[in-house]
Amino acid sequence: MSLKHFIETQDFTKAELLDIIQTVQLIKAADKQGCTPKLLQDASLAMIFEEPSTRTRVSFEVAMTELGGHALYLKPGEIHLGVRESLADTAQVLSRMVDVVMIRALKHETVTGFAEYAKVPVINGLTDFNHPTQVVCDVLTMMEHMPEGKKLEDLNVTFVGDATNVLSSLMFICTRMGMHFTHAAPKKYQAKPEWVRIAEENCKVSGGSFRMTEDPVGAVRDADFIYTDLWWWVGQEAEIPEREKAFMPRYQVNMDLLKKAPATCKVMHCLPASRGVEATDEVLDSPQSIIYDQSENRLHTEKGLLVWFVYPRLKRPSEELKAFHKGKIEAFLEKKLG
């Protein structure tokens, strides 16, 4: 099988993304009955983290274990990622030792640079530009909570908040799938022009729609899903007072705003959340909140992604070949050590 990476959802067609999601659904159904197949028996995953994460680490590590493989947690200071060793050398060395690499990086260029030289699949676990594993999980979660009578292409998704890496990824995948996406934020914090161009090009092909607005009430009026995220990211801590002033209280997802949406509307957040900031406890803990279903689906999504990209590349020797090599090694050891 030719080498494929999972760097951004734009690298895949709608049909391919739906195939990946269907794989996730099949594995999730098996998992719910305690029947997760060991599709990646004895395979190894290297997990490179430039910053910590609860969901990304736990979901990938548990996913690989339950699929029969093994995961290695590699954090800053433990490997020479682009510091004492080039990205190219690290990528090629790890490619000789593991079957797949997941990278959670501060800069998108780290992931793309690593993938350029890797000889095994590379999965993007988050960068400053995007978070593709999260949004595959998000679409799966939306499919599980669609209003009765609607299909994927009917869904209205409203993101209220800053132009984060989750916003870019969500607007890309939703418009790719033919969904209707709205971003509500103060003008200064709206999606970048280059992101808008990508979304609009997607819509021309998929039949979806994209719009931006400074009016959060109008943005949620027809929303099937309201999604929010943190108002600042790594390196933006000095901007917190300015950002809070720009977003609060108009863009906070609270009960007043939620009541402006249809009664069937669900609330989503990729977590971690700054409770009482971008969303209130009352909303995050309400019956309309599906944040924990969403969080659980990260585990199932990682299983599906790992299987999709790794399973076709694994060697599957016959029992006869296994027995031949085992016997040959044992005979040598018995002769030399017996």
Q: What is the fold, at CATH topology level, of the domain defined by 9-131+295-313?
A: Rossmann fold (3.40.50)
Chain segment 308-329, per-residue pLDDT in tens = 999 999 999 999 999 999 999 9
By C-alpha distance, which of 250, 251, 256, 286 is closest to 268? 286
- Describe the crossing of helices 165-176 and 132-144 by its angle, rounded to 10 degrees: 50
Sheet holding 44-49, edge to edge: 70-74, 44-49, 100-104, 122-126
Q: Are both 9-131+295-313 and 146-289 of the same fold? A: yes
Both tokens assigned to 40: 């990646």
- Describe the crossing of helices 291-310 and 14-32 by its angle, rounded to 10 degrees: 110
Mean pLDDT to the nearest integer, 284-299 = 98
Domain coordinates of the chain in residue numbers? Answer: 9-131+295-313, 146-289
By C-alpha distance, which of 95, 14, 114, 29 is closest to 303? 29
Confidence tier at 80 by pLDDT (50, 70, 90):
confident
Q: What is the fold, at CATH topology level, of the domain defined by 146-289?
A: Rossmann fold (3.40.50)
Is 222 in contact with 156 (CB distance < 8 Å)?
A: yes
Q: Report yes or no on whether pTM surpasses 0.75.
A: yes
By C-alpha distance, which of 20, 11, 47, 19 is closest to 300? 20
- Omega before residue 37 within 30° of 0, cis: no
Work out whether the CA dihedral 90, 60, 14, 105 comes out positive or negative. negative
List, by residue number, the catalytic residues.
104, 131, 134, 229, 270, 298
Chain segment 187-217, per-residue pLDDT in tens = 999 999 999 999 999 999 999 999 999 999 9
- Helix ranges restricted to H, 159-290: 165-176, 193-206, 216-220, 240-247, 255-258, 281-284
